Homo-oligomer: A and B are copies of this chain.
Amino acid sequence: MAQNSDEGTIGDRAYRRIRGDILQGRLAPGEKLKLDRLKEDYGVSVSTLREVLSRLSSEKLVVAEGQRGFEVAPVSVEELKDIASLRLLLEVHAIAQSFQSGDMEWEARVVAAHHKLAAMEEKKKSEGSPDNETWKRYDWEFHQALISACGSRELMETHGAVFDKYLRYQMLALTDRGEIAAREHRQLMELALKRDAAKAGEVLKAHITGGVEHALAVGRIV
């Protein structure tokens, strides 16, 4: 069975690793990405690295200026708010579409994704936070499931890209709102089954703006 981190070319694997390191904050915002150092750290050649960094710069996770090399994209409260409001726009619209045309398979996906996420949230409450990475993946999978019946591949991919950037801020702030977020997730699932898109939009708005405020309150974002 092909492990995710084993499949694809060397370049693909390096891409996933570096992308993950940026999203998780292991590569800090604004950090200079010197080719020679990365070559050591990730064990690939400079050409392959450039390929990877080019991809990431077109996703705006890395900035490439002139012929002065690459660095990790900086963060700012302004951008966080901006990303959050774009996520809200896309996700509210996608939810409305999804709620309208979702079938039983879709409901099953939503319930299943919520089950995994809720279990993780429960575990976090009792044991602290052992594995931020998989928790965030479950969060992603749940929101992805909610909109998975929207019928638009473009919308889902664009939403995914924005969501990942949003996630980077959450990881950088090392913050989560625990029970509040868990309750909102449950509400979203229930509203999905009731097909109440209007109410779901409101909950989502509270969910996202709440997440932003909480991240800013921690004050780790410059």
Contact = CB atoms under 8 A, between A and B. Distances in A.
Contact of A54 (B51, B153, B154, B155): B51
A93 B89 contact: yes
Q: How often does this chain occur in the complex, in copies?
A: 2
A34 B121 CA distance: 48
B153 A82 contact: yes
A67 B10 CA distance: 10
A89 to B, nearest CB: 6
Contacts of A158: 86, 158, 162
Interface string A68-95: 0000000000010011011001100100
A57 to B, nearest CB: 8
Contacts of A128: none
A65 to B, nearest CB: 10
B82 A152 contact: yes
A8 interface: yes
A126 interface: no
A219 interface: no
A152 B89 CA distance: 12
Contacts of A155: 82, 85-86, 89
A54 B52 CA distance: 8
6 contacts: A9-B67, A58-B58, A79-B153, A82-B155, A85-B152, A158-B162
